[in-house]
Amino acid sequence: MAEVVRVVAADDPVRPLFSPTGELTPEARSRLGLDAAALRDLYRNMVLIRRADQEALNLQRQGELGLWGQYLGQEAIHVGAITALRTEDWVFPSYREFGMAMVRGVDPADMLTLFRGLSHGPWDPNKYHFAPLAIPVATQVPHAVGFAMGCRLRHSDEVVLSTFGDGATSEGDWHEAMNFAGVFKSPVVFLCQNNHWAISVPLSKQTAGSIVDRAKGYGFPGIRIDGNDVLGVYAAVRAAATRARQGEGPYLIEAVTYRMGAHTSSDDPTRYRLDSDLEPWGLRDPITRYQVWLKAQGVIDDGLIAAMAAEAESAAQAMRARLTALPAPPPGEAIFGRVYANPPASFVQEREEFEASLEDS
């Protein structure tokens, strides 16, 4: 008889931190080890990335960007997850993780050149340990698992975060990556941002059962948490990353949130959902909720809140100014740049011939 793989509580350092409904317990919250400055920084980063998100949408509406996909309402996941990782840990994002890249230190104006049609790869992944935004759904998930296996073969203690939406869990790439990671105990944390929509398809029409329960079928644990609690996301990702770093393999976190905006700027969500669908989630806004908690703890006051809002406004305007002033890169660099670390002679020759043909025209 084949061996039966059981995922038991001892294998799961994340679950004891949360209630059965996925809320971070008061005891776990008190043991996060974050001082007042770190708690304020989580709030500041959520405010910064939300304002940048709105400004990117403004730019698209004004014809400065070809497309934009908002992450409004998902800021707690972006900030909590990245803050929980070490700087040497890698992130393999989907197309909506602009805020995560900002928290990692990537220049937002540089990132927007992708949506302006000026670049195919506007930052160096090796510098930020942040892979390119993946537009095709779920393709980044096997990439993350493969990279995580490379880290393991190098005997590195780096952990890889693979982040995706609920729609990605219906793709074959996702299942293949989950299976491979489970078999080979890849040091990867799978983070599902369950925002309830795959473009216009609701979760109930694409997923039977619970996303997190699928982890058991691949031989590793998972948990469903409140994705609008930045401290809960931080705690879950940190514990799962520690587990992976110790050689215990992958972990699946299903962070439940809601896509408050459109799928992208080309989408009209009023055609398939009601304003009443948004109302309960508006009351659970991750920034407002966290602000209320911080004020109750005496960690933040109205003066700091106003100052951070002003900082976010200034940063958004600087992002706009820098983006609109950026020239188009040389065609050779746009097409051939960042393909090889050590390009073969045939590739160099092809680039030289291409650039020579431009000079002759």
Among 128, 219, 154, 221, which Cα is nearest to 182's? 219
- Measure the CA–CA gap between 137 and 158, rounded to whole angstroms: 25
- Note the helical H segments in 123-217: 125-128, 140-153, 172-184, 214-217
Q: Which residues contact 193 (CB under 8 A, 6 or more apart)?
A: 74, 77, 96, 163, 164, 165, 166, 227, 255, 257
Main-chain dihedrals φ then ψ at residue 98, nearest 5 degrees: -60, -45
Rounded Cα–Cα distance for residues 199 and 211 (Å):
17
272 is catalytic: yes
Taking alpha carbons only, the member of 220, 284, 238 closest to residue 17 is: 238
* Helix (H) or strand (E) run with residue 57 in it: helix 36-61
* Angle, helices 36-61/230-245, rounded to nearest 10 degrees: 110
Catalytic option among 272, 273, 289, 351? 272
| Identified catalytic residue from 234, 259, 290, 320 | 259
Is 263 labeled as catalytic in the residue annotation? yes
Q: Taking the CA atoms of 255, 83, 310 and 108 in sequence, report the sign of the dihedral they define.
A: negative
R_g over Cα of the chain:
21
Known active-site residue 259? yes
Would you name the residues annotated as active-site residues? 259, 263, 272
